Structure 1
């Protein structure tokens, strides 16, 4: 197809704004929100270009998807979607992150060990012509027609106009590792870079032990983040995540409030030996560098694990919070030893195959 601004890379993906609940009323298409890497696939001639959310090429990291898209997608189409890796318990974001490896030999092994899938959810071009000015409902209908016989690892995301069904997805699909529900106005055009959709995510609260903190940037008079912990069944305090959304005034207040807990904090601290922790089976502790920390300063200051904080989180990824938690309040009435994993809501895994087979 001819290279035109509407059908050739880069195209900024359309974004979503966060909403507390599913929008009421008519005129919305609801889809599961996939927890993976956003990607736009350009099927041009005998080639395929896979573009990341920030307009970088992803082909080298997902050679099996490149081949599949060339074989399974018609020429002249541009499709917006998500790259995911499905594991035994649902979507596996950790395994997906591992796919971004600089060594070609490692990429080839991972393509065999943890193959990726592409979940399509919007049509930006077909037959070499842009469809971005069409309403969402028309783009969805054309996408269904285009992919009606498509085979894995390319999938078409489920969609519904029924708010009750979408609410059921919000509660049920999380067990497969999905990240919420997307609501798209039926009449909306595709708007690159604009927040023209709605994202509804799960939100829950947990009481966590505050066992350390990090300074705010390069300062020593403001707290950047609090390090959170939960006790496992063996009674070991595990690093479960951070909470960091504070005003500058609160960051400075926290320095004074936490000062008494810094005295003799490293003595008998459960994370004192984090530097010796190695391997996948090591207890979760803060401070260890990895490929994903990108050289960031992960130095932390220990605190005696005596204070409890209530935070809001969206969901767990394994034994940690998938994203930074939101500070709600201190819990002086809660003993730290009661901050355990068993307080967290457990979601029954939902078979990922059933999600993939969802009907329009």
Structure 2
């Protein structure tokens, strides 16, 4: 490709903060829950690049022609691939698209077609825009894509903090992660956390049903805690992990968990192998998938006695979408009280209010 920026390059990243920054120097955008992507176009060539620099072309064939039709002949843009279904973003459907079989990808591209939401312009024609301030890049993006039609979109943006807060409060039920805040004077800095993201955070009480050892291999520190919630049928479902601990805390957890390891597997609800297609529908740790990439998913059981309060940002298909954070131990709460009923259910808002299907 004969472009001022050559693939692969890493996208600019965001740092998490607690609340929207105020002031006149900010542009706010919805935070899309999809696959981050950079798109490079040079005439008849298109490369849809993943966050880690790999090509996504084969997984989203339905986007190639619209991008060739609508992008400038020579450009580099930053955005997010999403799938919208039944008034909400569907990340599960998006994950299914990363499949080794071309026939499966082709079928899904018809059944659950993807869209691409663009929010930054890195290059146009022979000009590199990364050294331009974001407010100018945004205006140029709006100019070159003023006629964009589905499945190509420009993300909504505003400098009105009240409107951004409204997006944050109302659109979580439609699958949005939160809100982005970008400095109007900010440059495009690859692989640096120069943007801000404000995400939802809630808490719930979970059973700590097991753990994994830390990666050093010496079994002297805990890597992660395995969390569970009881469903309506009384089955303990694996819902996620906590793993952001200091090395000191990881070593302390070895001693803390030791009493709960004794005879833990004897009556453990995850002790037997469960067929994923069985009526039990149990989610348990340790199952390999194409997402695990050969990682060691072995785990150690704990007696079903420990309860922890954790914070989380989003629930998806009965599991925490991202890693939970340990807040405190709840010795005053029985494991049987750790059910899905305690979770806040956010009513969906019409996605078309912010993203027309």
TM bucket (normalised to shorter chain) is over 0.9
Contact 2:274–2:282 (8 Å) recurs in 1: no
How many equivalent residue pairs?
355
Alpha-carbon distance, 1:327 to partner: 1.0
Query: What secondary structure does 1:260 align onto?
Result: helix
Unaligned runs of 5+ in 2: none
**2:250 aligned with 1:251, yes or no?**
yes
Deviations 1:9-44 (A, max 9, x none): 233211111111111222100001111111111121
After the TM superposition, which parts of structure 1 deviate over 4 Å for at least 4 consecutive aligned residues? none
Contact 1:76–1:129 (8 Å) recurs in 2: no
Distance 1:220 1:205, change over 3 A: same
Alpha-carbon distance, 1:72 to partner: 2.2
**2:350 aligned with 1:325, yes or no?**
no
What residue number does 1:144 align with? Answer: 142
Distance 1:350 1:73, change over 3 A: same
Q: What pairs up with 1:345-356 in 2 under 5 angstroms? A: 345-356=344-355
TM-score, normalised via structure 1 length: 0.94
Query: What secondary structure does 2:123 align onto?
Result: strand
Output the CA distance in 2 between the equivalents of 1:184 and 1:98: 31
Which region of structure 1 is more displaced relative to structure 2, 156-165 or 347-356? 347-356
Q: What pairs up with 1:115-194 in 2 under 5 angstroms? A: 115-194=113-192
Alpha-carbon distance, 1:175 to partner: 1.0
Alpha-carbon distance, 1:329 to partner: 0.8
What residue number does 2:103 align with? Answer: 105
Alpha-carbon distance, 1:120 to partner: 0.4
What residue number does 2:88 align with? Answer: 90
Output the CA distance in 2 between the equivalents of 1:54 and 1:78: 16
Alpha-carbon distance, 1:98 to partner: 1.7
Output the CA distance in 1 between the equivalents of 2:75 and 2:173: 32
RMSD between aligned residues = 1.8
What residue number does 2:49 align with? Answer: 51
Contact 1:184–1:197 (8 Å) recurs in 2: yes
Alpha-carbon distance, 1:280 to partner: 8.7
What residue number does 1:37 align with? Answer: 35
Contact 1:158–1:357 (8 Å) recurs in 2: no
